[in-house]
Amino acid sequence: MNNPIQNYNPSDVGQINGNIFGLPFDYTTANLIIIPVPWEVTVSYGAGTANAPQRILDASPQLDLFDFDNPDGWKQGIFMMEIPQDILDKNKYYRQQAATIIQRLEKGKPLTDAPNLTSLLTEINQTCENVNQWLFDECHQAINDGKTVAVIGGDHASPLGYMQTLANNYSSYGILHIDAHADLRNAYEGFEFSHASIMYNAMKLPQISKLVQVGLRDICQDEVETINQSNNRIVAYYDPIIKQKLYSGTTWIDLCKEIVSNLPEYVYISFDADGLDPKLCSNTGTPVPGGLELEQAFCLIREVVNSGRKIIGFDVCEVGDAEWDGNVGARVVLKLAYLMDLSQ
């Protein structure tokens, strides 16, 4: 087998070769397989995140590959699978269909007196479940092939199939969830697999022993009660409280160590771009003032590695459909790939 890195210079001009970061790997030679999921059927505010995998791919060759945590991290081999056009096409169709349901609900009109929309809702839920199953199968195959896996969404509903795959492979793991939103709503707007329901659905998996949420600042009463009644299975670090502690003299590094102490040995990172300050990803689906700086987020994930915990997978979701957002999203993907490799 040819060695793909034998004549590769990581300091050279980034190659536009179809692979993420212009790296010289394919499915066979890569260790990390990135699966794009261009899906945002249930977005309830701004659209465009279905194009995030393409935006991130387009921006990625512009990034330098050197990293202070893991200087040779690119050598693990990173390969992004082809963006599935059939899923992108279905997304476009069902996104328009879902909008009619959302518009009706926003006007305060129930679906019960609109049988056509009730049957449409059932169809959308089934289609979303089919996408989850497709991702489950793709992740299962890659893991069976000895690969590690990451997902680039779409909206935050995108990675559920991967979380389900990991539940088949680990008897217990935790999620470190960076987000402005708790995503603990039960079938938000009637959509069983809503972007606002990803963590509600994840918590149905008994293998997920802990959910640690960081940066929450746009949250409903029901979600707060869900967190408070979770018997410490869900631990929330709300953005206003984080900021108050920082203003009062607590260091971010000490807070990171406290956050990480809640996590079990195996950790999955779920990174929603709206967990960041919106100046970094202003075109994300549901931007909220406040949030983390990019280096704050990286510092937190670095502490997961420094603690001796193992990162078993990650997703990056809700990156907006804009060049700058793609640039930031690509940097998040690269850093998480390097830190996951380091944690192995």
What is the band of 46 on the pLDDT scale with cuts at 50, 70, 90?
A: confident
Statement: residue 186 has pLDDT above 60: yes
Q: Is the dihedral of CA 202, 204, 206, 209 positive or negative?
A: positive
Entry pTM: 0.96
pLDDT at 249: 98
Work out the pLDDT band at 325, boundaries 50, 70, 90.
very high
What is the C-alpha to C-alpha distance for residues 311 and 313, in angstroms, rounded to an integer? 6
The mean predicted confidence, pLDDT, of the chain is 95
DSSP strand E in the chain: where? 32-37, 78-80, 148-153, 173-178, 208-216, 234-238, 266-272, 310-317
Could you say which DSSP state residue 47 is in? -
Q: What is the CATH number of domain 20-343?
A: 3.40.800.10
Q: Where are the domains of the chain?
A: 20-343
pLDDT score for 1: 54
Length of the chain equals 344
Evaluate if residue 192 carries a pLDDT over 90.
no
Answer whether residue 2 shows pLDDT above 80: no
State pLDDT tens for residues 87-136: 999 999 999 888 888 888 888 887 777 778 888 888 999 999 999 999 99
Condensed to tens digits (0 to 9), the pLDDT of residues 5-32 reads: 888 999 998 888 999 999 999 999 999 9
Proportion of the chain above pLDDT 90, given as a percent? 84
Give phi and psi for 115, each to the nearest 5. -55, -35
Phi first, then psi: what are they for 293, rounded to 5°? Answer: -75, 160
pLDDT in tens, 265-287: 999 999 999 999 999 999 998 89
Write the pLDDT tens digit of every residue in 206-242: 999 999 999 999 999 999 999 999 999 999 999 999 9
Inform me whether the pLDDT recorded for 140 exceeds 80.
yes
Give me the mean pLDDT over the 153-181 stretch.
Answer: 97
Q: Is 190 helix (H, G, I), strand (E, B) or coil?
A: helix
Percent of the chain surpassing pLDDT 70? 100
Q: 78 has which bridge partners?
A: 32
